[in-house]
Chains A and B, each alone.
Chain A
Amino acid sequence: MSGRTDVLIVGGGIVGAACAAACAQAGLTVALVEADLAVGMDATAAGMGQIVAMDGSPAELALTRYSQRLWDDLARSLPEDCEYERCGTLWIAADDDEMEEAARKATRYHEHALQAELLEQRDLYALEPALRPGLAGGLCVPGDSILYAPRAAAALLAEAERHGARALFGCRVRALHEGEVELDDGARMAARTVVLATGARAAELIPELPIRPRTGHLVITERYPALVRHQLVELGYVKSAHGTDADSVAFNLQPRPTGQLLIGSSRQYGRADPAVDRVIVARMLKRAIAYLPVLHGLDALRVWTGQRAATLDGLPYIGPCPGRAWLFVAAGHEGLGITAALATARLLSDHLLGRAPEIAPEPYSPARAWLETVVRA
């Protein structure tokens, strides 16, 4: 590779692939290096593949909303094997407290011009009759969608390659230097800008980034078409899944276009081991059965784990490193890597081309990592 590369992207997950596509489309010369043998093999493949508007904070909602719109635009040209489907999300309220939360959530979504419809108990069961009786109601967000993320990453990379980008697989980067990266075999690749998009592994190359792996478990079933029509998430999700450092589970289920059901979710810190933790799987499935009793008698095919890239404040790091203008970070998306990939890539290309971004980039700046590190010290 010659020294003329404008952008060198380290990491071939969906975020790296999206960055490659956005930069190559913008006319930049792009190279991507990935340690694994193919695109989208790590967290991209391990996750649920959802494109959801999330309102954990105003910045999260701005980012996910923006990215969702970009996906909607792209959806028409995605190959069929990406299995893009706008199934919508049903946030389930178990009781009156959660109904109030649903109403607050609806208001926040409406403020961002997002469609969201409060559901009375009767409406909820009309949409999803298999849910357990006695739930209070919910919130339907019809704009949310799902896709098969490894293929979407492959489609994005193919788009980048059509615009001249080059991808190298089986190459691990061991160090980042100004204007170049150093591969495991000692070879160096030069580039004007280096983009770090290695998700939960980002801290291996930039130790100052407080990104921690947060393990999740998923279970996939045999094919049971039309049993469930929407992505289902309990409103307790925010409380139980995001809040604390402790192990947690929450009910989250998707009907896949294959007719299979994908069941989550769990969050655990401090497990580097990819082995399945049977105890948390059991907790997760009990919770799923509590919401969708019919699951009890269905067959599970496979259980697996993946590592989310969690940050301290729940927002990804997107932007140049302080004092290292040549180094751009695009990592730390936790459970929203698929959702936010396109917005992340757009913020990168806007930055490189000096275009005005459509959303304020400051909340995602990696500078806060250094700030946080100082504060913690």
Chain B
Amino acid sequence: MAERRTEVLVIGAGPAGLAAAAAAAACGRRVLLVDDNADPGGQIWRGEGRAHLAVPARFEVRCGVRVVDACGASAVLAESAGGVERLTFDRLVLATGARERFLPFPGWTLPNVVGAGGLQAMVKGGVPIAGKRVVIAGSGPLLLAVAAYLRSRGARSLLIAEQTGRLRLARFVLGLAGAPQRLRQTLELRRALAGVPLLTDAWPLSAHGAGRLEEIRLRTRRGERGERCDLLACGFGLVPNTELAALLGCRVEAGCVAVDEHQATSVAGVYAAGEMTGIGGLDLSRIEGEIAGYAAGGDERKARAGLGPRRRARRFARALERAFALREELRELPDARTLLCRCEDVSVGRAARYPSWRAAKLHTRCGMGACQGRICGAAAAFLFGWRCEHARPPASPARIATLAAQHEV
């Protein structure tokens, strides 16, 4: 097995990982940044990540590299088109981001019912959106950002259904008065969406169509209504990606990787930054990445300079969390026959017969398919209040040859 040695290894080239790599490199460390996507940028800067790299970058970026497991102390196991390799480090910064939370409702598995961030990624990848009628439903600022992007790419008509309440949302926007820049961003976004209806207290009840999506039923403040559309893009907030951190032995608390003041995890020499330590958005991710990068690079003074900005950004994150907390009614969305696990065709009703995630998994196989519970685990955690953690290797499906190479060290 090939072996690569670096001083600071950063996993994940989204905003947090890019900031961490730049900071560690500024400390004079040899830095390698790897990401499993074809390009850097993460989900948020997909396709435009290169623009966020300093030119010339002072660190090496390798995309298409998927880290699948720990590999002894101070190393991880990675696979790419070129094969398998062991990446050895003195310090590691994890910045594996978050994924969308999907909640099941009748019809959610119909073709053309997709993730909100997922749809944005598809359109960036070349899927045509011009002339399409799109409903964007769920919760959080991501819905607006996706709507603005789709509109810029020619989506014909748009409707945003935000589950949170009008009052809560108003309070949140008022709270931005203390952060003029954020308020400006929000207003700009709203202007970009002029004419796009934004319903609050609204969520999808069901999706209908013969073979593919034709119409959805929406619950709104004025009662139930139908809406014909070509695409329904859903996203009920984000879920931290903690799988790799857990495999490395890092403590995970309430679904987030636990970190100290310097973004250090419970494992010596391993740092974590960005959404995986708690959903906080772009600014917090960059600040945390910078702190982690300086801490991993050995410059404590510069790391500490980020503490104040991080405090303020976390305040915003908490406000965000309060404003977009998922409402209880969403637990009632699925009926007993609605699928919970698409990989293994397990309905909500079947899973509900069991007392825990583990029992449901072992007896129904929900969460045991290709996605290993990444999608249905978060949904089940919300629906049933289960602890749905996954801590079995590999962190994502890996070639058998990769796992077989592990002991060539």
Residues of A within 8 A of B (CB): 36-38, 40-41, 45, 150-151, 154, 169-170, 219, 221-222, 258, 263, 276, 278-279, 281-283, 285-286, 288-289, 295-304
Contacts and interface: CB of A to CB of B under 8 A. Distances in A.
B356 A37 contact: yes
19 contacts: A38-B354, A38-B355, A38-B363, A40-B362, A154-B363, A169-B355, A170-B355, A258-B365, A278-B69, A278-B70, A279-B406, A282-B403, A282-B405, A300-B397, A300-B399, A300-B400, A301-B370, A301-B397, A302-B392
Please give me the 10 A-B residue pairs with the lowest Cβ-Cβ distance, nearest first: A285-B404, A38-B359, A282-B407, A282-B406, A37-B355, A279-B407, A299-B397, A45-B362, A278-B406, A296-B401
Given A279-B407, A281-B406, A303 B392 contact: yes
B133 interface: no
Contacts of B365: 258
Given A282-B408, A300-B398, 19 more contacts: A37-B354, A37-B356, A38-B363, A45-B362, A221-B400, A222-B370, A276-B393, A278-B407, A279-B406, A281-B406, A282-B403, A285-B400, A285-B404, A288-B404, A289-B401, A296-B399, A300-B403, A302-B394, A303-B394
Contacts of B405: 282
Give chain A's interface secondary structure class.
mixed
From A169, A288, A299, name the one whose CB has the most chain B CB atoms within 10 angstroms. Answer: A299
B124 interface: no
B372 interface: yes
A321 to B, nearest CB: 31
Contact of A299 (B72, B399, B406): B399
Given A222-B370, A297-B401, A302-B372, A278 B362 contact: no
Nearest to B394: A300
Contacts of A258: 365
Interface in B365-409: 365, 368-370, 372, 392-394, 397-401, 403-408
A169 to B, nearest CB: 7
Nearest to B344: A258
B71 interface: yes
B370 to A, nearest CB: 6
A40 B401 CA distance: 32
A123 B252 CA distance: 52
Contacts of A45: 362
Given A276-B393, A279-B407, A289 B359 contact: no
Contacts of B69: 278
Given A154-B363, A278-B407, A303 B358 contact: no
Contacts of A221: 400
Interface string B65-87: 00001111000000000000000
A296 B400 CA distance: 6
Contacts of B401: 289, 296-297
A249 to B, nearest CB: 11
A289 B399 CA distance: 12
Nearest to A279: B407
Contacts of A154: 363
A37 B359 CA distance: 7
Given A278-B393, A285-B404, A41 B359 contact: yes
Interface of B: 69-72, 354-356, 358-359, 362-363, 365, 368-370, 372, 392-394, 397-401, 403-408
B397 A222 contact: yes
A4 B71 CA distance: 56
Contact of B400 (A151, A219, A278, A279): A219
Contacts of A296: 399-401, 404
Contact of B71 (A36, A219, A278): A278
Nearest to A276: B393
Contacts of A286: 404
A334 to B, nearest CB: 21
Contacts of A150: 362-363
From A154, A221, A303, name the one whose CB has the most chain B CB atoms within 10 angstroms. Answer: A303
A299 B400 contact: yes
From A41, A170, A301, name the one whose CB has the most chain B CB atoms within 10 angstroms. Answer: A301
Contacts of A41: 358-359, 362
From A38, A221, A304, name the one whose CB has the most chain B CB atoms within 10 angstroms. Answer: A38
Nearest to B249: A275
A288 to B, nearest CB: 8
From B69, B72, B354, B404, name the one whose CB has the most chain A CB atoms within 10 angstroms. Answer: B404
B42 to A, nearest CB: 24
Contacts of B408: 282
Contacts of B363: 38, 40, 150-151, 154
Contacts of B403: 219, 278, 281-282, 285, 300, 303
A221 B71 CA distance: 20
Contacts of B358: 37, 41
B44 to A, nearest CB: 28
A295 B362 CA distance: 25
Given A37-B356, A41-B359, A276 B400 contact: no
Contacts of B359: 36-38, 41
Nearest to B358: A41
A298 B358 CA distance: 26
B368 A302 contact: yes
From B71, B359, B369, name the one whose CB has the most chain A CB atoms within 10 angstroms. Answer: B359
Nearest to A151: B363
Contacts of B355: 37-38, 169-170
Nearest to B355: A37
A289 B400 contact: yes
A49 to B, nearest CB: 12
B356 to A, nearest CB: 5
